[in-house]
Amino acid sequence: MEIKQITTLASKEFWDRIRNRWVLAVALVFTAFALVIAYFGAAQQGSVGFHAIDVTIASLVSLVIYLIPLIALILGFDAIVGERERGSLDLLLSMPITRLEILLGKYFGLAAALTFSTVAGFGLAGIVLSPQLDLDALFHYVGFMFSSVLLGCAFLSLAVMLSVFASDRTRASGLAIALWFFFVLVFDLLLLGALVVTGGQWGGEIFPYLLLANPADVFRILNVFALDDVRTLYGLTTVFPPTLANPWLLGLVMLAWIAAPLGIASWRFRK
């Protein structure tokens, strides 16, 4: 594997997103949402203004869990199928580059764009909020940003995988939306439904482990467990064994969610 081929393709993908202002637009969306949530997050309690960072982060987690998977899937769904459909893939494949290098170059370039806009967007909001942050809160906020990046990278990996499998862009976009629905909306409902239907008899023990099968839930757990004030707000966390709540372990699970779809994509792309 030649790293230079990967970085050449990755830097093209990254600068494409900088030049067409994709990175700027997404960063501004993140900044705006973060500030609005920080200011209005406690409106239900009858007051507005900047409040405890834990509550702000909890609200941001709820938002990011919808937004980032969607943005990552939209960013990555046509990575390969788009090149194939436009007709530029043949020329790329005729270069002295392997298919794995093409896949990784595409992925790392897009991941860099997503990471940059996430860090810039929430980072800017963090700077604005910094007078309210003590060191501990800052640590949590940075943790939230970092886990947001991981969440984005995991869904980007899923997007790149389906862009290898899909036969055209239309199908790829449909699959991307279906994946979003499944992981963000349907998955938790299914688990809860299974618990309710079986009266809690079935799956009580494996339930926490099943949550790991969804990168969005891993992200939620990662953030919720870091915040003492918030932990109690989430009913689900009471059933979660503390051993699984180790942030390093959850980080590893996220990395697996990045590596596995890429591995499957690479296997399929070579065929």
- Binding residues (CB under 8 A) for another protein: these are 2, 4-5, 8-9, 12, 16, 19-20, 86-88, 90-97
Residue 10 C-beta: closest distance to another protein, Å: 11
Query: Backbone dihedral region of 227: left (phi > 0), alpha (psi from -120 to 50 degrees) or beta?
Result: beta
Residues 61 and 234 sit within 8 Å (Cβ to Cβ): no
Q: In this complex, which beta carbon is closest to another protein, that of residue 99 or of residue 231?
A: 99
Q: In this complex, which beta carbon is closest to another protein, that of residue 96 or of residue 131?
A: 96
Where b means 16+ CB within 10 Å and e means fewer, 155-185 reads bbbbbbbbbbebeebeebbebbeebbeebbe
Residue 18 C-beta: closest distance to another protein, Å: 11
Residue 95 C-beta: closest distance to another protein, Å: 4
What Rg do the C-alpha atoms of the chain give, in angstroms? 20
Residue 101 C-beta: closest distance to another protein, Å: 10
Joined tokens for residue 247: 């942030």
Q: Which stretches of 94-239 are DSSP H helices?
A: 99-129, 135-165, 169-180, 187-197, 207-211, 215-226, 228-231
Q: In this complex, which beta carbon is closest to another protein, that of residue 84 or of residue 140?
A: 84
Residue 5 C-beta: closest distance to another protein, Å: 6
Q: In this complex, which beta carbon is closest to another protein, that of residue 83 or of residue 217?
A: 83
Q: In this complex, which beta carbon is closest to another protein, that of residue 96 or of residue 242?
A: 96
